[in-house]
Chain A
């Protein structure tokens, strides 16, 4: 599933069938090539982070969670990964041979486990998620 496809999707709690928020962004851990949390908007409380392990299912129409309390404030690790420096979208991509190959336009991930499958660049180039090395303030680095 693409980041852009799931953007704005409802997150629903199965305990009381309430919408707890809408998907607003993705927190990824580049060293594990994994989506580790979702950023939500329009949440009831002050928390706006949904850690990936607390998801029940990533469905085509909604994301389900057990109860609304799984939406928390970012812990240290997630806050560090979700900073502006670590957003992956629209960032230039450098290969380990020192070549700029494009900018990240979208990311394909596995809704079952959050694995990053493919980076899709603005020039239609696709990079396998397993080649992702890091996302920093300057660039996304991928193995060439």
Chain B
């Protein structure tokens, strides 16, 4: 299984070129493919007073994404933000914000609200960054207390910016432990694949 990272941990990560310069930091994530993958990152300048940049970083140009930095080859891989959002948008998230969306199962049960996105980074670097799950604030009806839970996602899902639809069986794989979450995602996805 790939490395799992919380999307909130990515914000403010420095963007470093091969030449060792920190040219920007991550500001926000643009999701592609119905919220199932990372499409690009919007950027902000380094330093307290630097505002957002007019350029963005397409995922394809990321050489490596780790706990301490995002590595890119050079400044030339950055693209104008409008271009990046245009191509990734493609009706994907309906322009909505994934955070705070309500997670609904296909049987109509609310599982809670999204507070963070869990991303799996493939070992090879340039692999796609897959959204493997959400961290949710559980709905009271779930009876699991207030502690945030992690919910695995299928490879594809429907998201409207208001609701996120997940198969009912996803609720069987809820966990509160990020280190064990990778196994839960794998188990959930192989169960979905087997069921078809």
A interface residues, Cβ below 8 angstroms from B? 30, 91, 94-100, 133-141, 144
Query: Do B19 and A134 touch across chains, with their CB atoms under 8 A apart?
Result: yes
Q: Which residue of B lies closest to A134 (CB)?
A: B19
B20 touches A136 (CB 8 A): yes
Q: Within 8 Å CB of A94, what residues of B?
A: 16, 20, 66, 68-69, 71
What is the chain A residue whose CB lies nearest that of B125?
A97
The reply on B14 being an interface residue by CB < 8 A is: yes
Residue B70, interface by CB 8 Å: yes
| B63: contacting residue among A91, A96, A99, CB under 8 A | A96
Contact across chains for B66 and A97 when beta carbons are under 8 A apart:
yes
Contact between B63 and A136 (Cβ–Cβ < 8 Å)? no
Additional A-B contact list (17), CB under 8 Å, known A136-B21, A141-B71: A30-B20, A94-B16, A95-B66, A96-B64, A97-B64, A97-B71, A97-B125, A98-B13, A98-B68, A98-B69, A98-B71, A99-B67, A133-B19, A136-B17, A138-B21, A139-B16, A141-B19
B69 CB contacts on chain A under 8 angstroms: 94, 98-100, 139
A30: chain B residues within 8 A (beta carbon)? 19-20
B22 in contact with A96 (CB, 8 Å): no
Closest Cβ–Cβ distance, residue A116 to chain B (whole Å): 15
How far is B125's CA from A57's CA once the two chains are assembled, in angstroms?
43
Contact residues of A: prevailing secondary structure: loop
A107 to chain B, nearest CB (A): 15
Q: How far is the CA of A61 from the CA of B169 in the complex (A)?
A: 74
CA distance A97 to B127 in the complex (A): 12
**Does B65 have its Cβ within 8 Å of any Cβ on chain A?**
yes
User: Cα distance A141–B64 when bound, in Å?
Assistant: 11
CB nearest to B22 among chain A residues: A138
Docked complex Cα distance between A99 and B68 (Å): 5
A124 and B17 CA atoms in complex are apart in Å by 25
Interface positions, chain B 20-55, Cβ under 8 Å from A, are: 20-22
Residues on the B chain within 8 Å of A135, using CB = 19-20
Chain A residues with CB below 8 A from B20, complex form: 30, 91, 94, 133-141
> Is the Cβ of A100 less than 8 Å from the Cβ of B68?
yes
Complex Cα distance, B73 from A134, in Å, reads 10
The chain B residue with its CB closest to the CB of A98 is B66
Contact B22 A98 (CB under 8 A): no
Q: Can you name the residue of chain A whose Cβ is closest to the Cβ of B74?
A: A134
Q: How far is the CB of B25 from chain A (nearest CB, A)?
A: 11
- For residue A134, which residues in chain B have a CB less than 8 angstroms away from its CB? 17-20
Q: Bound complex: CA of A138 vs CA of B133, how far in Å?
A: 33
Whole-angstrom CA separation of A136 from B15 in the bound complex: 13
Q: Which residues of B contact A139 (CB under 8 A)?
A: 16, 20, 22, 69
A residues less than 8 Å from B19 (CB atoms): 30, 133-136, 141
Does A133 lie within 8 Å of B18, measured CB to CB? Answer: yes
Instruction: State how many angstroms separate the Cβ of B107 from the closest Cβ of chain A.
Output: 40
Smallest CB separation, A5 vs chain B (Å) = 25
Determine whether the beta carbon of B65 is less than 8 Å from that of A98: yes
Residues of B within 8 A of A98 (CB): 13, 64-71
- Residues on the A chain within 8 Å of B16, using CB: 94, 136, 138-139, 141
CB < 8 Å neighbour of B71 from A91, A96, A137, A140:
A96
